[in-house]
Every structure is written in C-alpha cells, then in structure tokens.
Amino acid sequence: MPTRSTPSHRMLVRLLVAAQLLYVLGVAGAGYATTAYGQHIVLATSPVDLHGLQYESFVRLRYTIAEAPLTAWRSPTPPTRRQSVYVLLNTAADSLATVAGVYDAAPRPAASQAVLRGWVTDVYPRSLGLRYNLERYYVPGDSPLRLGKISPAVRVRVSIAPWGQARIERVELARPTAAR
Amino acid sequence: MSRKFLETESPAWVTEGLITEAQRERLLARYPPDAVQAVGLLPLLGSILLLLSALSVVAANWQGLPTAVRLGMLLATLAAAYAGGEYFLRRGNRRVGHGLIGLGLVMFGVSIILTSQLYQLVGYDVSGLLAWVVVGVLLSYLYESQTLVLLPVIIGAAVQTYCTQALGTFSYATVGLVALGSGYRWWRRPDTLVASVLATGLLWQAALWVALSHAKITWFFIPAMLVYAAGDWHPARPASRALQGPPLVAAYLFALGLALFGETDQYAGLLRPPVLAYLGALAVVFALSIVGKRQRGRLTSLPDWLLLLPGFYLPGGLPLAIATLVVLYAHAGSVLARAHRSGEAEQLTLGTVLFVVATMVAYFKLTWAFLDKSLFFLIGGVLLLSMSWYLRRRNAQRLAAGVATVAGAPAPTSPDNNPAA
C-alpha cells in the first residue's frame, strides 16, 4: 500500500500539490473574473462604525437592502429563518439598488435588474431581515475608511458573476450631499 | 515499563531470587536512560517560536501587503509544507514528515479561505471548501499515517458545520466523501482511534442534518445505527467495537433522557416520526446489523439493540418511563452477563456503572413523589451502599476466579484474547 517512495507515488503527490496550487490560483482568478464579467451594482449602507478597526481588520457593513418589507416576499410558503433566498434588485445606471422582490427560487431579472443571493436572518411581523455574506469588509491599508474618525455612510460597489459568486469591488465614501 | 521502575524494583527481584545480579545488570543495560529526549525537544521548541514570530509579523501587516504578495505567500507556504514533508519522509523521519504534510493540507484550506477574503468574494454553496475534503481524503490514501486519516474526518465535520450554519444547506457530497472515502481507508487499515473519530464525525454530520431539516430527532438513529452496523461487518474486533462506541453512547443517552423526561407527552411528541417509515428504516438497518453479526459470529452483542426499542410510541406518562427503565435494566444486565462470560474487567466495570445508573434513575423517578423526603434519601443511600457492597464482592470473586485460571494454566503460548493479534 502507500508510503513507498516509488516514482509513481512521488508523481501522484506532485500532481496533488500542483492541483491544490492551481485551485487556490483559480479562487483568485474567480475574484478577477467576477469583476471583469460580472454585473455591477451599488449598495448603500447605514453609517459604518469604525471603532472596531482598532482591534480588527474588518468593519461590519449594514446595507439598506438588509431589510425588506414582507410585502416583497414572492413565494406561496411563508419565509423561515436561515432560509436561502434570491433577492431581485432594481438597479439603474449609477444609482443605488433597491429591493424589488425576495424569492425562494431564482427569478428572471429584467434588463435593469440584478439578482443577489442571501439568507433570511429574521422574520418580523412586517419585514424580513436579510444577510448577504458581504457584511464583513476587510479594509485595505490604503482605504479612506482608515483615515476617517467619524462614522461615514458608504457606497459599496458589488459585482455579481453570472455563475453565482459575488464580491465587494470597492467601498467609497458617500458624497456629503447624499449622506443622511 | 519505565527505566525508573526497573531501577527501583529490580534490587528486590534479586533479593527474592527472581533474577541474579548479573541478569539485573543486563536488563538495565538493555534499557538505557533516555535523558537525550528532553534535549531533542529544544530544536522543536525553538522552531515553533521562530514560526510564531514570523506568523505574527505577517498577521499584523496582512492588510497592508499588496494582493499579489499575499497570494504568493499563501502559495509558497503551501508548497513549502508539502516539499518539507516529502523531504523528511525520504530521510526516514516519518513523524515530522507526516506532520508537515498535515500542515500542508491545513494550509490548503486556509489558503482557500484567505484568498476568498482577499478578493472579498462570496460563494453560495460549499464547492469552494469541498475541494479541501477531496484533497484530504486523497492524501490519506497516499500516506500511511494516522494523522492524515483523522484530518479529513475533522475537516469534513468542520466544512459541514459551516455549510449548514452559514449557507443553510446540507452538503451530501461532504458526508459521502467522509463516509465512503475515509470509511474505506479505515476499513482497509482498521485502527481504534480512527474508528472512534470517524464515527463521531459522521454522527456530528447526521445531527447537523437532523437540526437543519427540522426532522424528528429520532431520525438521527437511522444513520447512527448504520455506522454501528458497518462495525458489525468489519472483521477486526477492537476496531469495530471502537466504531460502535459513539452510536451506542448516543443511543444510551437518548434512552436515559427518555427515562428521565419521557413522562411529559410534550417531549415524547417531539420524538415520534411517522410509524411505518421510521420502523421500516430501522428494521432495514437492524437486519443489516444482524446479518453482519451472524457472519462474524458476534450474536452475543445483539442486546445492544435493546436501546433502540422505539418505546416513545407508547403513550407518555408513567408507562413510558417504566418501559424505558425496564429496557435500561435489561441492557445493563446483558452487558454484565457478556462481561462475566468473557471475563473482561473493563466490560465488567462498564456493566456495573450502567446498572448503578439505571437503579438511580429508577429510584429517583419512582419514589420522589410519594416517599417522605428524609425516608427517600435514607432508603436511597442504603440501596446504593448495599448495591456497591454486593457488586464489589461479585467482581472480586469473578476476577479472583479469572486470575486463578490464568495462574493455574501452563505458561500461555498464545493467549486468545491478545489485543495485538
């Protein structure tokens, strides 16, 4: 059985290690490809608490689309916690995305719409709490967020790949006129 | 037997005439003092400290480094761990070699996670991490190492936990890879530790499945007893018992819970799956187990299945509690009877503990309500004391009889219950 250091065994090990290196490179490639071929949307957040940055390398973003009215729910069965959902977003060129509907199966988006996947975190009497796994933003060293002392509202540019991955492209400070 | 033991005890052996002084010296010479070992630890400690310092420098500056550098560092560490592992294996240092290859496997998972984080990338299924489990299982076939067999089982449990908790789906691919891939690896090279960890890992995934699908918790015992039945089919006795340990512990705890809390219909109601479907599935697993036991000549362990009697279909209340207690007693009795027949001290202890637990549950359950409290504690204490006296006497007799037969027999050439066989 194993561990004989035969040429074929060494060959298999080399192949397996090469496959792992390629796989990690593939994950990185998926990151670039998502930006290159993906659909771009802009999401608004509530003011970001920057205090955590002193201790951690990420901040928590709270998107305005993290809460949807229950009237946006488009499925015969009522929503349950931790259910995975498809959120249909209205997007227009250079404007913020808003929730058009929450589905439990993939909907067909119109031309100015995008679909972002997420999970139900809470079901309130009149609204739904949603999570997109994009909440944790690892702030790069040169980000303007590192300079700010107050809690700014930010615009998050997200790209959604056709094969169903999504990534935060960049985070910009909201223009002062647009800030609440 | 340690050198220290030999040094302190051997003079007495010489005075008692067991060995001569010359033999004593030869024995001491055969086991040289191993003072070198503590020195051998120093380079290991030193390199761990160096590694920690490098790690903390990198971690502190991680966000400040350019993306390409971070990716390059991850890939370089991954390749270096595997290359180092192969290097040490070729030099014959198996422990360090396998350790480094295990580190390479862990680094692979870390690289996947950190690279996704590098690009702020999210996926919506577990396929990214599934590759980690696949590589782990493949590696366990390429090397003859316990660590490398344990790692994919643990990684599989971790990936499944992430999948069910964060993504809200159950990954059948992960559980299949662990059950079939790691399971077959264990089947070919049985090992007790791997068996226990494998069974625990699979039960953990089964529990996650039950929790996620909001099924009645009794469904958990179908996959659990499948693991148990697999143990019945395995030819190696100690390894198969180790595989059966976790499912049996789970079944026992469940029966105990039923005896303690089964009175309320509310709890029993949570346990009742559709009768035909559940009993049908359980019967299939039971049949598999029986056929396996018969093939391997282990029908004596059949009373293990007593714990799986679906008593929760009985109406809640006192009948259910009493029925469960009867089952617990029957099970403890069967373990004791088997231990007496085989004369294994460990089994005897286990049976005794099970018996005492059943008695305590029965006593607390049945007499708390209608006995005066002081009388309750008095009788309980007397009951336990007399039981301990009786059981200890029985065990002592039993073991003495066992020792007598061993001492009376001629020098054993091949003991038939030799664990190494």
pLDDT band at residue B180 under the 50/70/90 scheme? very high
B166 contacts in chain A (CB < 8 Å): 133
Cβ within 8 Å, pair B168-A84: yes
Contact assignment for B128 to A133 by CB distance below 8 Å: no
3-state class of B69 per DSSP?
A: helix
**A-chain residues within 8 Å CB-CB of B125?**
164
B2 to chain A, minimum CA–CA distance in Å? 32
- ipTM, two decimals, is 0.85
pLDDT at residue B258 greater than cutoff 60: yes
Average pLDDT over residues B22-37: 78
Looking at chain A, which runs of residues are DSSP E strands? 39-44, 58-60, 67-69, 84-90, 98-103, 113-123, 127-131, 136-138, 154-160, 166-173
What are the tens digits of pLDDT across the range B351-386?
888 888 888 888 777 777 677 777 777 777 887 788
With 90 as the cut, is the pLDDT of residue A148 above it?
no
Residue B278 · residue B308 · CB < 8 Å: no
pLDDT at B418: 44
Compute the nearest-CA separation of B110 from chain A (Å): 10
Nearest to A5 among B63, B89, B169 (CB): B89
Contacts of A10 in chain B (CB under 8 A): 86
- Average pLDDT in chain B: 84
How would residue B338 be classed by pLDDT, with cut points 50, 70 and 90?
confident
Out of B131, B139, B168, whose CB is closest to A119? Answer: B168
**Cα distances (Å, whole numbers) of residue B406 to B292, B411, B415:** 32, 9, 10
Give the model's pLDDT for residue B419: 42
Tell me if A21 and B78 make a contact (CB, 8 A cut-off). yes
Average pLDDT on B303-312 reads 85
Q: Quote the pLDDT of residue B389.
A: 84
Backbone dihedral angles phi then psi of residue A102, each to the nearest 5 degrees = -120, 125
Q: What is the pLDDT of residues B388-399, one digit of tens each?
A: 788 778 777 777
Residue B171 burial by CB count (10 A; 0-12/13-18/19+): exposed, middle or buried?
buried
Confidence of residue B127 (pLDDT cuts 50, 70, 90): confident
Question: Chain B closest CA to A100's CA: distance in Å?
Answer: 21
Q: For residue B56, list chain A residues with Cβ-Cβ distance below 8 A.
A: none
- Confidence grade of residue A20 (pLDDT, cut at 50, 70, 90): very high
Asked if B219 contacts B278 with a C-beta cutoff of 8 angstroms, the reply is yes
- All residues of chain A having their beta carbon less than 8 Å from the beta carbon of residue B148 are none
- Residue A142 clears pLDDT 80, i.e. is over it: no
Confidence of residue B402 (pLDDT cuts 50, 70, 90): low
Question: Is B420's pLDDT higher than 50?
Answer: no
Q: Is the pLDDT of residue A31 over 80?
A: yes
pLDDT band (50, 70, 90) for residue B413: very low
DSSP 8-class letter at B317: T
**Partner B contacted by A18 (CB < 8 A):** no
Q: What are A35's two structure tokens?
A: 């930006």
Nearest Cα residue to B155 out of B116, B204, B115, B109 = B109
Q: A92 in contact with B at a CB cutoff of 8 Å?
A: no
pTM of the complete model beyond 0.95: no
pLDDT at B415 over 50: no
CA distances from B335 to A5, B260, B344 (A): 47, 21, 11
**Predicted pLDDT at B414:** 43
